[in-house]
Amino acid sequence: MRSMFRNSALLSGLVTQDQVDEAIAHLRSSGSLSATAVELDDSLLAARLVEKGILTPYQADQIRSGRTKLNLGPYIITEWIGQGGMGQVFKALHQVMGRESAVKVLPLTKSTPEAVNNFNREIRTQAQLDHPNLVRAYDAGRDGNVHYLVVEYVPGTDLRRLVRSQGPLTQQQAASVILQAARGLEHAHQRGLIHRDVKPGNILVTPKGIAKVSDLGLAGFMNEAEADPRAGKIVGTADYLSPEQIRTPTEITHASDIYSLGCTLYYAVCGKVPFPGGTARDKARRHCEETPWHPRRFNLDLHEEFVDVIADMMEKDPRNRIPTASEVVARLEQWAGDASPIAARSAIRSPWTAPPLPAAPDGEDRADNLQDTDGGEPSSGLESPSQISQLSQASQQTASQGAASQETLPAKPGRIRPVTAGATGSGSSALSSASGIFSTPISKWPTTTVVAVTLAVAVPVSMFVGALVASVLFYLMR
């Protein structure tokens, strides 16, 4: 019985002849395949092998496309996870140990000498770290011309997708996740490492509420700046860049990660990035010059003392910022409690076909899983601090939302007067943080309440006026 899929499946080594024969016999006995059929329906055979757990859906799709190599060294590729900051990420199973892992692969199309050096740098960096709140590196290797890094597979989702699927986290949930991330960063900082790309997409959250910091592709050691090919360049993601990453990228310290973690905490409780809308340059300028909306504008359940922690993490001047990740842990402990499950709606995987192993076409993230970056590559278009100084200072407005990576609609245009320390107001109408970092005022009533009250007053009045006009017209026409 002829079947291209059967031949490819046998060549892959993932399926035996006995397993193929059993699948064909089942299809015949169930009536899905006639006893006299000359050609075998590949889709039926593939579906049966997937149903029996012999192949994964990803493997079946790849084999149906004629691809028979589905391994990297001893790792059998079982699923495509997504596009990471430096390459494709796959889920894999070790042939001997049976351990599930995530395999980061540098695509052949990007295997330039510089890219290979950066990839090897990430491997060496991650190999020096071992902490429960950091994604652990297990192995690294080369299969032909394909370079790969094997890291811990973390079930669940990343913080960005979690917030996008269920909305802002509660104060306790956000404190727990960010506190754990701070513990992981403290471990890295103690070894002289600066992450440089802390953001929601690089914080993975398991179904049990355990958080792990991932993706060290842009990380660098403070004492090895001269050996870093990206030294002097602005690297990171525009929504979470610290002012010093923009102004003096050669002089950043661990405090830069604290600022980015503060922006991440802001996003977790607000569901919005601090400075939405606009280009990467717009965002960079605003990180240096402007203050974001007060978090309670978007989440009235936040305590003011909790908002103070966010403000202290997001201080423009690193000298006034919370100096260490360990202090972030201490400040958040009273709000966090123990790690607990965070319910998230099931993500629907895109119907687009996953790329083959190991190379894949460039594009946006298409998988809703872990090890993904949040919505694209790290920020581009900002090569040096001199570019920032050339930005226009005239307008405080941001462009309307365009790219998929823009998390939220822009805030109202124009600079909002920041509240200084000690400012007071009536009730919640003038919310402020101790540091005065957040823009105010905000209404003490939710927008829906204001709309409801307005309609309740306007509708009866308009009906009365209409009746009065009708009466006058009726009287005049008599």
Does residue 366 surpass a pLDDT of 60?
no
Mean pLDDT value across residues 153-181: 96
pLDDT band at residue 469 under the 50/70/90 scheme: confident
Q: Per residue in 408-448, pLDDT tens?
A: 433 333 332 233 333 333 333 334 445 456 655 443 344 45
Q: What is the structure's pLDDT at 115?
A: 79
Q: What is the structure's pLDDT at 445?
A: 40
Q: What is the structure's pLDDT at 446?
A: 47
Distance CA 478, CA 171 (A): 67
Mean pLDDT value across residues 390-415: 34
Please answer whether residues 106 and 146 qualify as being in contact, where contact means their C-beta atoms are separated by less than 8 angstroms: yes
Residue 104 labeled ligand binder = yes
Q: What is the distance, to the nearest Å, from the Cα of residue 147 to the centroid of all Cα atoms in its chain? A: 24
In our burial notation (b when 16+ CB lie closer than 10 A, e otherwise), range 283-311 reads bbbbbbebbbbbbbbbbeebeeebbbbbb
Q: What is the structure's pLDDT at 46?
A: 93
Q: Per residue in 228-265, pLDDT tens?
A: 555 557 778 899 999 999 998 888 899 999 999 999 99
Q: Minimum mean pLDDT among 130-134, 305-309, 417-421: which range?
A: 417-421
Q: Is 289 or 404 the better-scoring residue by pLDDT? A: 289
Where helices occur in 167-279 by DSSP H, the ranges are 171-190, 243-247, 254-270
Please answer whether residues 196 and 235 qualify as being in contact, where contact means their C-beta atoms are separated by less than 8 angstroms: yes
Does residue 301 surpass a pLDDT of 90?
yes
pLDDT band at residue 182 under the 50/70/90 scheme: very high
Q: What is the structure's pLDDT at 59?
A: 95
Residue type for 84, please?
G
Does residue 134 surpass a pLDDT of 90?
yes
Q: 403: how many CB neighbours lie within 10 A of its CB? A: 11
Q: Per residue in 312-346, pLDDT tens?
A: 999 999 999 999 999 999 999 999 977 667 765 43
Q: What is the structure's pLDDT at 400?
A: 30
Q: Is 301 or 220 the better-scoring residue by pLDDT? A: 301
Rounded to two decimals, the pTM is 0.72
Residue 164 has φ and ψ, to the nearest 5°, of -65, -30
User: Across the strands, what pairs with 418?
Assistant: 439
In our burial notation (b when 16+ CB lie closer than 10 A, e otherwise), range 97-120 reads eeeebbbbbbbeebbeeebeebbe
Q: Is 372 or 95 the better-scoring residue by pLDDT? A: 95
Residue type for 371, please?
Q
Does residue 282 surpass a pLDDT of 80?
yes
pLDDT band at residue 85 under the 50/70/90 scheme: low
User: What integer best gives the mean pLDDT of the chain?
Assistant: 77
Q: Is 218 or 283 the better-scoring residue by pLDDT? A: 283
Does residue 24 surpass a pLDDT of 70?
yes
Q: What is the structure's pLDDT at 472?
A: 75
Residue type for 219, please?
A
Give the chain's domains with CATH numbers.
Answer: 4-64 (no CATH), 71-152 (3.30.200.20), 157-348+366-387 (1.10.510.10)
pLDDT band at residue 108 under the 50/70/90 scheme: confident
Q: Minimum mean pLDDT among 163-167, 293-297, 325-329, 470-474: which range?
A: 470-474
Q: Of the listed 42, 158, 197, 365, which one is catalytic?
A: 197
Residue 197 annotated to the active site: yes
Does residue 368 surpass a pLDDT of 60?
no
